[in-house]
Amino acid sequence: MLDFVYYPVSAILWFWHKAFGAVLGPDNGVAWALAVIFLVFTVRLVLLTPAIRQIRTTRRMQKLQPQIAALQRKYAGDRSRMALEMQQLQKEHGFNPLMGCLPALVQIPVFLGLFHVLRSFNRTGTGLGRPGMTPDENANTANYLFGAADVQSFLGARLFGAPISAAITTPENTLVSFVHFGGIPALGTIAAVAVPLMVIAGLATHFNARAALPQGNPDPAANPQSAVMNKIMLWVFPLGALVGGPFLMIAILLYWVSNNIWTYVQQRIVHARLDREDAAEHLRREEMRQAAAPKPGAHPAGRKSRKKARR
């Protein structure tokens, strides 16, 4: 149904697995893990320009907060007029709300595509989206751009003894598919790798959200919608890593962690760059103001012309 997403995601993952597999070995668990991580980096690199625009948009929004709060107070009883004035304010300052959410919207189908492609390496068992293949059928059936040999390689890929295609809640009838590819893993082995990744993902999501919040302590009453969204970003999304983590395979948790690592580094670099740009713009305006100001001891031009006129 979403082949236009699945095939590109599969192609990027295939490329990086071949690249790292050529160095570490195609069946190496680290090679597969690095392929997932660099899939993230590839997608985020493609989205770098929109992401920078998103950060610019967010900063502009922060600067407009006092004016937005004033409009909300002024037109509290007239929602249509408030919406009109908000649109005019955004237009005057070159603010595009769509740019604030475009990178996140693009990443959603990528995440779903990766989830589907990785899940399709193991199609045993029954349930939603499970075709109920036998372990032999699954191991000898291609998965998008990956041939049967790649499927078998992925099933055998392990990190610290845990298959990267397994989750804490993986049912026994699915774990059977690993019997010929390193053996059926113990729940404790999977948890020993998955739980630290879940904790790291949750903490990284929280601190990235905190770094993205406006500086200072804005009054929540001035913009209650933003206050609610900030709380969701700070606490609900990170909690999702802990609550949903047991249902996600280790490879998906790797995706989550590496995506947050990229976000952290990107925010640091881009915010530092924008801070330098703001400082340079402030300095330029200050120099222009000083250049336009009268020199010490000099009379304003208007006063000289009036004196000449009196004479």
Locate tokens 């908000």: which residue? 86
Query: What is d(CA 140, CA 144) in angstroms, rounded to the nearest whole number?
Result: 13
Instruction: Supply the pLDDT for residue 277.
Output: 85
Instruction: Supply the pLDDT for residue 299.
Output: 60
3-state helix, strand, coil in the chain (%, to 5): 75, 5, 25
Instruction: Supply the pLDDT for residue 185.
Output: 94
Does the predicted TM-score (pTM) go above 0.85?
no
Nearest to 35 by CA among 23, 48, 50, 51: 23
Provide the 10 A C-beta neighbour count for residue 84: 13
- Contacts of 163 by beta carbon, 8 Å cutoff, 6+ apart: 155, 156, 157, 178, 181, 182, 185, 190, 250
Q: How does pLDDT run across 254-302, given as a tens digit for each residue? A: 999 999 999 989 988 988 888 898 888 888 888 888 888 777 665 655 5
**Amino acid found at 132:** G
Residue 51 has pLDDT above 60, yes or no: yes
For 127, the token pair is: 């349930």
Alpha carbon 137 to its chain centroid, in Å, reads: 36
- Contacts of 41 by beta carbon, 8 Å cutoff, 6+ apart: 258, 262
For 67, the token pair is: 């004016």
- Contacts of 36 by beta carbon, 8 Å cutoff, 6+ apart: 13, 114, 118, 164, 251, 254, 255, 258
For 133-179, the three-class secondary structure string (H helix, E strand, C coil) is ECHHHHHCCCECCECHHHHHHHHHCEECCEECCCCCCCCHHHHHHHC
Q: How does pLDDT run across 5-44, given as a tens digit for each residue? A: 899 999 999 999 999 999 999 999 999 999 999 999 999 9
Whole-number Cα distances in Å, 248 to 7, 57, 168, 186, 199? 21, 33, 8, 16, 13
Query: What is d(CA 124, CA 130) in angstroms, rounded to the nearest whole number?
Result: 7
Beta bridge partners, 162, equal 159
Instruction: Supply the pLDDT for residue 86.
Output: 81
